[in-house]
Amino acid sequence: MKKILSLTLFFSILLPMITLATVYYEYAPDPWNSQRYFNTSGYVEQVFQTRKDILLTGFDFWLDNSGSTDDITLTLYDEFGSVLSTKIVSLSSTPSKPGGKKFHVDLNSNILLSGYSTYWVRISSLPWMGVYYSPTTVFLTHNEDAISPYLQGRARIDGEDQDFSFKYALHYLPPEGGGASVEEGAVVVEQLEPGVPIQTVVTNARVVAKTHHSVTLAWTTNVAADSGATLRTQLNPLYVVASGYDPTLELEHWLTIGGLGPDQLYFADVFSRQLDQNEELLTTYTIGFKTEKTSANAIVEDPINGEDTPPEDVAPEEGSEFVVVPDEVTDELGQAAGENEEGAIAGFDQINTAEQQLPPGIEGSSAGGDVKFSWTEPEDGPPRDGYRIDIFDEEHNLERQLYVDADATEADIAQLTAGKHNIVIYANDDQTFKKVAAPTDFLIRKGVSPIIWIGLAVLLIIGTTIGLSVWRYKKDQIQLAKFTNQ
């Protein structure tokens, strides 16, 4: 009987503790899939609705501030535009990192919010402040009285609702009292501010293929950067057993590394850098994987042990405005990446370094004001989702991006500005991008303006007219002299 009374007393004490426990609901994509909005309009707004009546105690946003410490103002509005709460807080200097840094704000007093009413938070801006966001996800809902786009949250910029939401969280209490809760909303193409360098951010890093002796890795960066990966084993995680490197400055990255053991666990560290910024290796993504077991069916040719196929030099037609830049340009870019003579990456102990093998370069010509590029279909056939073409300027900023059908082997691109450019063509298989040819640098020479040709034609006509007039005048003078002498 005493044991029963003791257990009853224990659970009577424990029950309130359980009911007061923090409830946490999360809708927050991976930080590596988050992107940074560089605000230039003075403020941004986050619109949201709650699924029930709550007492709002505070909220979180994911921010950074590359400038000096300063104050920002956060204002909460209801759907009629009335101010419910205002809070001025200090935002310290915070370096950029993937996903941003969580910034918490406690309200001066709790605010009662009504379920399915619309509210928004306005965040004032600093010159170097970034707010992180990600695209919203569309849910199919059933048996709902009403469906609103604001249930996940939605960003509003310059009065216009966006198709993404700033990463945010709501801290609240139930109206009838009880334990504190947190409801997290949606989370972040980094927009380049002129003259402000952007830190390279790696996203969507993944294993796209593996065998008993090799692995293929792919990832995306927000700016054109090189591709590097090192492999470590679980038994000795501090020792690099293999690596791969591609000096191409691009947005989509693909590396195949061989020389691995069958049925073994590995860690892959992928990283990218902007070579012209001498950027340190601050952005690294680690993936764990296990190689396949050895079998008769698994023994296939290693794709990275083939012979190098040097790019073919493309001679431009006479009078063409399209000029292929010599391979030395690419070599110089490669050296800027910190490559040594063995192809290793500075700062790493490299073994079995795999240089990526690519088909011959892309051919190009210019005629009629358009630039035409052609390439060879991949050996394994056309890609399922066609091709993607990225064109960069001399500073490796993306100028053009277009998609073409799978049966295409050439593309016409409207006349680019004069100067040096770079083109990269990918095979697109379900948003996994693999280069189909060696990236090519080319030069568009500055053409002669039609006005100049018109001016030259006018000068020629005027010159010819003056010449004929002078010739006729002299001829008449000679004839007059002969007549006078007679």
pLDDT, residue 148, reads 60
Mean pLDDT of the chain: 71
Confidence of residue 258 (pLDDT cuts 50, 70, 90): very high
Give the best-scoring range by mean pLDDT among 94-108, 130-144, 199-213, 254-268. 254-268
- Please give the residue that has the higher pLDDT: either 338 or 283: 283
- Please give the residue that has the higher pLDDT: either 95 or 486: 95
Residue count (the chain):
486
- Please give the residue that has the higher pLDDT: either 89 or 305: 89
Average pLDDT over every residue of 112-124: 87
- Please give the residue that has the higher pLDDT: either 144 or 57: 57
List the domains of the chain with CATH numbers: 19-184 (2.60.120.820), 322-343+357-444 (2.60.40.10)
d(CA 207, CA 215): 7
Strands (E), 43-149: 43-49, 54-65, 70-77, 83-91, 101-113, 118-124, 129-135
pLDDT at 74 over 90: yes
pLDDT at 463 over 70: yes
pLDDT at 4 over 80: no
Average pLDDT over every residue of 212-234: 89
Average pLDDT over every residue of 384-405: 87
What are 125-136's pLDDT values in tens digits? 888 888 888 776
